[in-house]
Chains A and B, each alone.
Chain A
Amino acid sequence: MSTHEIVPAASLIPADAPFPKAAKVALGMPQLRKNLAHATGTIRAKRANVAGELDDWEALRDAAAAIKADVQHRLPELAIEFERNAIAAGAQVHWARDAKEANEIAARIVRDAGAEEVVKVKSMATQEIELNEHFEAVGLKAYETDLAELIVQLAEDKPSHILVPAIHYNRTQIRDIFDQKMGDAPTGLTDEPAALAEAARLHLRRRFLSAKVAVSGANFAVAETGSLVVVESEGNGRMCLTMPETLISIVGIEKLLPSFADLEVFMQLLPRSSTGERMNPYTSVWTGAREGDGPKDVHVILLDNGRTGVLADEVGRQALSCIRCSACLNVCPVYERTGGHAYGHVYPGPIGAILAPQLEPGRHDDLPYASSLCGACYEVCPVKIDIPEVLVHLRQRGPHQAGEQAAMGAARAVMARPALWRAALRAARFGSMPWRRKGFLRRLPWPGSRWTVSRDLPLPPKEDFRDWWKERQR
């Protein structure tokens, strides 16, 4: 039996704090940083390998970006087409304007089915609407069945990554969580990943085989056929989508694809970009209800929850192309160091920095600054979302602090007058003397401290270009 106390990472990192504050806490957690560096390093190499196997990777990205742009431009007609075909195939289609409405519809379906608990396929949409918390509040119980989601749920933690929500835990920590929280963990459980997977299998088996209702999301919704697609690895998805009588799928309206054949593009890009596999172990496709096969009572909840607001922004709407692969998280130098919790939103990393402030206008305005604009996210994005472009766009749109406005105003005034500018450079050279540390300015007094609290400044050069030029001319 292990003795390490489980401290959920999310309980240490203040979710409601501004990013710089939350990031500072995360940076002070060495185990977290080690786990993140190891995991993101592994996945980066795997992704690069399998993306490199395809000589038409760039053509696939171009096609995917254009298909998604087309979907956005035709969203009303495609949503109606999907609805018509899903209903014709025996599904019930519901529409939810916001999280509350989606949760209420889902809870009503569960009660109508005579159930009090549901098994869940991993789904970002249900994380976003906090379905588990809503169910808890109305006396229903949602059991996560994806291994990583199970780890996070048992640890009473929050996901820190879109694809691998428990990326911030290493194997030993996971063993400890199972030991202490699972209730039926095998005695003498080791931290071998295979042993941990076996423990999860045993723990969930009976629940799968007896569940009445399942809740899922969907990776794609095909308008032409009314089909939904779920991509997964473990078989927990297949269990949830096949065994229960009632299935509720909560699908963001941006998940639509025009035609079934479009899967030939996205099902090459998604697995290679997310888990770095040529294909994920299991993909399920279903269309309404099928006599004698799987759930009889099939529901689809089409979710807006801020998406139409994103759609209205010409530059920002490309964020709706996201297929939740998480490749951008894995290459982001900021994410790799802070992890997902510091972002304070269910979508962390570069994609979160452009999605969160758009989905919830007026909140997360600091997230577009959680980036060095290095552009690695754009390079790996399978649907070519120009994340740096949207980051800059949102920075311009967002509020600017009085201090920043004053500083920029002063800089403008000084830079517009050559004599003043020369004097300012000279002043910076001599004036910065007391704060120089190891080649950098690390700590300036107020108001400069607003800058140096989270950044270092390079030293002003000993000689500026103007002086150097004058010297040369002599």
Chain B
Amino acid sequence: MKKIKDFYIKSIAVLLVVLSVSCKKTLETLPQDTIDASVALTTTAGVRASLANIYSTMKGESFYGNRFIGLGDALADNGQATNKSGRYINEVRNISGAHFNHWSGAYIAINRVNIVLEALPGIGDASDAQKTAWEGELKFLRALYHFDLVRTYAYIPGAAVASVDKGGVPLILKATTTAGDALNIVAPRATREAVYAAIYADLDEATVKAPALGAGANAKAFATKEAALALYSRVALYNKDFAKVVSVSNTLITSRGSTLLNPSNYVAGFSTKENPESLFEITYGIESESLGVNVSLQTLFTTLKARAASPKNDQVETNAEPKYPTSETAGFGDLVPTNDLLTALGITAPGNGLFTLAANAGATMITSRSNDIRNRLFEVGSVRRGNVFVECTKFLGRNGFVNTDNVPVLRIAEAYLNRAEAYAEPGAQQNVVLALADVNTIRVARGLTPAVGLTGTALMDEIMLQRRLEFAFEGHRFFDFKRKALNIPKPTTGTTVNFDSFVILPGIPVADIDASKGTLIQNQGY
């Protein structure tokens, strides 16, 4: 019997070991790299960090970090592809699919805006004034994300191909936070009118609630009243709401018109981290934010690491005097100006793209330049990546690190040109004298003589030419064709992309079309 007793004592001991481990607690393992969603957005720190994330999306390759700037010129008549890394060849050829692709990233960011907006009332450690300022900032961001979607994925008001017009884009104004809502979301494309109305509504609040633009360093990195006015001016122009363009531009030019650069400081303005003309810049603060040698705008536009002084900036480098140390490489310089744009900028370079180190070392490639100060931001590239082209140097590691440049999104010059165009358009606001005055403000600021006596088509042509020169390699050109329903000439091939071609609009990601169960309509041709 002793054995049996012994046995029972042992087995009870074993049982105790088994059962002492309570199931629930033993299985608890919480992450340390991430935090519980319910506590993430309850403090000022949480809001600030969320805002940083929402801004940071715009730095990405699909947004202002690369495609928003590069595509505006590649899809139009400003850019030609050099095939140095193989990038942007299809974009320059307007091939189906080589287009904007920020759809998913933008909607994810919009939801994050909405999440923070809905969380604002519950932030315990922030003043009401602070919450109002945040609201203004968030509304600006939501307006910008929606606008960048609707101007690309949909036709622009007054410039649609009716037979293939699928309306605007989905308008997302409420936060999705649960799996159930996320799995079952239904958001068809809203009408263009509804989307623009929502953008107006957000900007109406942003222009009032967002903080004023201060003088501090990096102040332009964030949304301000002035940034909201500048965006409003652009949105109204696209919406062909010319009276609105005039009124918001007036307000903005009154406060910020003096920041317009002139021929003496224009090149310097484009050589510093922050452009004095900017009202809103996508800002890169630290080296690790750089998009790197494959994706950054510097690598896309140029093989250079620094601007050369005259006359070296017009010459092909030599082995003896390279443009930067031979152990270093800079970018690929995949997208460079067409000869057509160079001519418009007043640059004569007959050997563009044909010169090489072997055959032309030391040769002068740019044989003459006009007085247009803007052409000083274009110079002969390096021989390191093959044939030499004239390249745009607006992005040149200005932030102090290679491949890292702030991206000016809204500049004061645009307000002048928007207003000039609005004054030149028919309507109650039409005033060709003021239109000419505005365009001359820009001409003079860029080293040109004032134009005289322009009216009608000649006036509008001059305004559009100044837009082309002013914003070359800043991502505007394609939209200037698109919003005016114009065919796009392709100077390198002598062909034309007609406005009614389906490649004017990008395709919506197929995954979203498939997941929408028929509620989301794809653009024609995809």
* A-B interaction: no
A interface residues with partner B (beta carbon < 8 Å): none
B interface residues with partner A (beta carbon < 8 Å): none
